[in-house]
Chain A
Amino acid sequence: MKKRLLLLSLSAATFITYKAQAAVTLPTDTGKTAAAPAAPAAPAAPAPAPDAPLVFSGSVDTYYKYDFSGHSNIPTSFASDQNSISIGMIDLGLKKTVGNASFVGELSFGPRNDQSIPTAGYHIQNLYVNYNLTSKFSLTMGYMSTFIGYEVISPASNFNYSTSYLFTNGPFQNAGFKATYAFSDKVSLMAGIFNDYWNTFKSAARVNTFGAQLTVTPVKNWTAYINFISGPSNGTEIDLTTAYQITDAFKLGLNAADFSASNGFTGGFAGVALYPQLAVSKVVTLGLRGEYFKDKAGTYGAPVAQGGAGLVAGPLPGDDVTGITFTANIKAGPLTLIPEIRFDNTSKSDIFTNSSNVATSSASQFVLAAVYAF
């Protein structure tokens, strides 16, 4: 008995000692790390800056959706399966920095991947290399998530699980070459040249889309991005994305955008979305997304059957939709539970259908999602 107890104690102590040592890996300074202690007789030479470790991160997400009409109605991205426990995607990201050079590769698999990338089978969300010419000036080339808009593809980076009309209709990714210069801690500018079409791994023929992003931090905890993208193939979008953490508990986000089609099409879309969020405890944050989205009159959003491009997911040209989404984020370590209820309403045309499959102007749905980020 004594031997057993002793052995058990020894094993437990060894395990805990190992865990304690493992947990306290020496941190890396954002400058150079201190030199290792020199041998007493020899002068200590400054140690070279250690390279950052290979960073591995990602997420998985799964959800249940029920549209109260009994069938899917709301045409925004993801969470598309009705009355089904469905999967989103597994997202795996790698990043490595050596000196001034870094790369990011992000792979994803699952329905959310298939709905967010241009070519099935590629499974690539981000793939780019970056080089910091100076501490203020960097160059980036590859296939990158778009710089336009408030919401993103990764479920771990969104507060709401369902997505906005502005997100769904804007670009998802832009492949290109961009340069970013930080004028100060408060102002930076990105400008780049991108492939002719959004959301493509390679250009159709040209690299003729221009994009720019002005980042401004007017006061602490408030950042605003003024974005611009324009090209003859897709059109021109001007976008304002901003978020202000007003108090420890309250954050307000805003996204406003205007898109004008090109390439022989007329019309486009415009909209604005507000994102107030209130942390009511250490683990629970409540949020609301209020969005107004208008499909401009023209051929860009008109149905194909009527000679249009059918490229707007939302109301018919000349109509608008208002969406109100109540969302909670309940955190349990790396896991976030996201219950959400959403009401959408158009002002003129009946683009939704009710439980009797009769055209109607409103739709509502419930979603419960679980996102695990690591």
Chain B
Amino acid sequence: MLNYQRGFYLYSMKTLLLTLFSILLVKVSSAQSDLLSFDEHNKYIYYQVVDMTGITADTLHARGLNFLKTNYAKMKVKPAGLNGLNGQGKFLVYGGLSILKHEKGQIDYVLNVEFKDQKYRFWFTDFTFTPYERDRYNNYVPKQGGSVPLETAQDKFDKKDATGYIDETGAFCKQFADSFKQYLLHVPVSTPKKEEITKKVVTDKW
């Protein structure tokens, strides 16, 4: 009887541990994918509404534009509506481990930002993955005709690779979100340049 109870106890413990382990595994592996959601058109979207207490829409707009021009210089930014911005940009994704890596492709995206008094919202959407291929000069360049919406990347590429691209997209959006928020909170539109003062040393008297 005792042996039976001990056996049952051990079996329950094993099941519990395995369940916990499985939950942990799923949680960790889907951590970055969770950053992206699907919108009403079943397209990947990264969406945030952020409160900015005490800051007017005009100030947020000016700071936001400055942020994009400064930090995302290659993004094509244009006004959208009364107090909004629309940008088109891209970033590179890398494959391989440590130094053994090269560009696997680029992800194009559309960024929309809208400002109101004391808050703003933004969303990334229209993600497109373009694989890179090696050219004759040992450069990696976009593969002609290879672009696919990120939503269908798993149909065309290795599932593991496609999941990696989605993860990197989530990480990119999160990095943008964090930097953007910090910038809008703290940075004046025109940051005065701080002059570096070089200390002078007199060498003829010592």
Q: Which A residues contact B (CB, under 8 angstroms)?
A: 1-2, 5-6, 9, 12-13, 16-17, 20, 22-38, 40-47, 53-57, 93, 95, 104, 106, 125-126, 128, 144-147, 152-154, 156-157, 221-223, 243, 245, 248, 251, 282, 333, 373-374
Contact = CB atoms under 8 A, between A and B. Distances in A.
Contacts of A144: 137
Interface in B160-185: 164, 167-172, 175-176, 178-180, 182-183, 185
Interface residues of B, number: 67
Contact of B186 (A26, A43, A95, A373): A43
A46 B146 CA distance: 34
A57 B141 CA distance: 13
Nearest to A57: B102
Contact of A30 (B14, B91, B136): B91
Nearest to A221: B145
Nearest to B143: A245
A146 B166 CA distance: 37
A110 to B, nearest CB: 17
A55 B93 contact: no
Contacts, number: 176
Given A5-B17, A30-B106, A243 B138 contact: no
Give the interface centre of B101, B170, B176, B180 by most chain A CB atoms within 10 Å.
Answer: B101
Given A26-B171, A57-B102, A31 B89 contact: yes
A31 B73 contact: yes
Interface of B: 10, 13-14, 17, 20-21, 24-25, 28-29, 31-32, 70-75, 89-94, 96-97, 99-103, 106-107, 133-140, 144-146, 155-158, 164, 167-172, 175-176, 178-180, 182-183, 185-188, 191
Nearest to A279: B156
14 contacts: A2-B13, A9-B21, A13-B21, A26-B172, A27-B92, A28-B92, A28-B94, A37-B182, A38-B187, A42-B186, A43-B187, A54-B99, A55-B140, A126-B137
B186 A23 contact: no
A24 B24 contact: no
A374 B96 CA distance: 8
Given A30-B91, A145-B136, A221-B144, A6 B17 contact: yes
A128 B191 CA distance: 40
A126 B17 CA distance: 55
Nearest to A333: B158
Contacts of B157: 282
Contact of A104 (B25, B74, B92, B139): B139
A67 to B, nearest CB: 28
